[in-house]
Each structure stands twice: as C-alpha cells, then as structure tokens.
Amino acid sequence: MADRKPFVGGNWKMNTNLAAASELARSVADGVAERLGATEVAIFPPFPYLLSVGSIIKSRAPGLLLGAQDCWHRPDGAFTGEVSTSMLLDAGVQAVLIGHSERRHVMGDSEETIRLKLQAVLDAELRAVLCIGETLEQREAGETDRVNEGQLRSALAEVSPEQFERVTVAYEPVWAIGTGKTATPEDAQGAHAHVRGVLTELFGDALAGACRIQYGGSVKPANAGELFACPDIDGGLIGGASLKAADFQSIVEAAG
C-alpha cells in the first residue's frame, strides 16, 4: 500500500440510540486502540451522539478520530435542521463525510452543494472524506471512470494544494452500498487507479500519491483483506459492518 497509512472509517448512518452509541463507541475504542499506530481510524456517529461518543473515545483511544456524517456550508443563519462546521468543531469533530451516496441520491445533494460543503469543511481546517461513485446503470453503460472523474473535478474545483492534504477520497459504487454486493478487487483497483490519475492531474504526483483512497461498499471481515491488498486501496469506509464492534475491529486489523 505504498507508504500511505491506511485509513478506515465507520459510518453509523441513522442507527443506534444514546445507550447503543455509547456502548459501540466503548467497544470500538477498546478494540482498535492498539492499532492506531498502524492504521488511522474514524467513527461517524449521528449528530446527537457526537458529544457523548467524543468524550468516550477521548478517554479510551485518544487517536481515534471523531467524524460527522455531513454539514451545511453556511456559517449560521436560517437553515432549519442544518449543522455548521463551527458547531461541529465545538463538538470536537475532526473529520466530515461529504457527498455520501445517500446524500447524493436520497437527499438530493447536487454537485454544487457538495463542492460548497467540501470547501466549507476545508476552510474550517477540518478533514474531509469526499465520497464518489457510480450507479449500477452508469456502471453497466461503462461510465464508471467518467462519473468518478466528473465528481472529483467538480468537488475539488476550488480546493488548494494545502487543503487537499486534508482530503481523503472514498470510492463507493452506489450499487455496492448496503446491498451485500462488493466490487471485485480488480474492478475496485481499476477505479482507484483512475481516481489517483485524476488527482495527479489536479494536484501533482506527490500530493496525489499521499492521498488515501478508501473503498466502500459492503466491506466485511471476509472480503476486507483482498480489497485492502490492492495497491491503490488505502483502507475502507464501512457502513453496516461498523455497527458491530468485532467486525469493525477485524476490518481495521485487515487494513494494518
């Protein structure tokens, strides 16, 4: 995996309650604490549990990153239901998911919204995990690389090289998220190599070579090893399996 430190994220989506989130945070923190030297790990709980989860991981695994699943791009004002980057910073958040496929395809975040959100996150000195990926229809039409490239170029249009150092890309084919279907390691590696090629055009060899590109889409303990062994796959963004501490720990171990 070149000399990039692998990075594994756990996206809890709209799951857990306060008791379950606290228990999961304790188990994940205890399970991965010893692994944080070899692998960077972040968990992305729902907004209402950020403070409690943050305080648990701070005391049990201080290197474990606290992430948020989204944000709004304006600093404050009449945006009912939204959360700003400064609110996330107040809650101790270090990284934010932007452009997750559920945001793009269920809530309808446009390319322009995603660009603005990514910029807001980076302007706030936070780290971003920028999610991209094609639908099944686009894949069957042979458009995977074109779609990924378009999403990258659009989202990263205003990002400076200094800011890009705080960006991780998560390639998540939409048809593989939460479906139990996973891209083959060969297909995933092909898409990741193309992503890195686009990043090289945009930011040069050194920054593109240092950028972690996670794979996401039904990653489980049973398939994590073969995916993470691919040269351009630098860890994963994990949904369903991140809700089971033992599975998430196995996936983190497979990355390191």
- 151 is an interface residue for ligand PEP by CB under 6 A: no
- 240 is an interface residue for ligand PEP by CB under 6 A: yes
- 133 is an interface residue for ligand PEP by CB under 6 A: no
String of contacts with ligand PEP for each residue 213-232, x by CB under 6 A: ---xxxx-------------
Cα(212)–Cα(210) distance, integer angstroms: 6
Across 126-143, b (16+ Cβ under 10 Å) vs e yields: bbbbbbbbbbeebbeeee
- 67 is an interface residue for ligand PEP by CB under 6 A: no
Nearer to ligand PEP, 31 or 217 (CB): 217
Question: Count of H helices and E strands in the chain?
Answer: 11, 8
Q: What torsion do the CA atoms of 239, 242, 247, 223 make, to the nearest 10 degrees?
A: 30
**Segment lying near ligand PEP (by CB under 6 A), choices 18-26, 66-74, 171-179, 248-256:** 171-179
- 70 is an interface residue for ligand PEP by CB under 6 A: no
Nearer to ligand PEP, 213 or 219 (CB): 219
- 235 is an interface residue for ligand PEP by CB under 6 A: no
Active site residue 100: yes
Helices 144-155 and 185-210 sit at what angle, rounded to 10 degrees?
30
Marked catalytic residue, from 73, 172, 194, 253: 172
Contacts of 48 (CB under 8 A, 6+ apart): 18
* H/E element, 8: strand 7-11
- 172 is an interface residue for ligand PEP by CB under 6 A: yes
Q: Which of residues 174-203 bind ligand PEP (CB under 6 A)?
A: 177-178
How many C-alpha atoms does 79 have within 13 Å on its Cβ side? 10
- 10 is an interface residue for ligand PEP by CB under 6 A: no
Marked catalytic residue, from 73, 100, 192, 194: 100
Contacts of 219 (CB under 8 A, 6+ apart): 182, 227, 236, 237, 238, 241, 251
Q: Which residues bind ligand PEP (CB under 6 A)?
A: 11, 13, 172, 177-178, 216-219, 237-241
**Residues annotated as part of the active site:** 100, 172
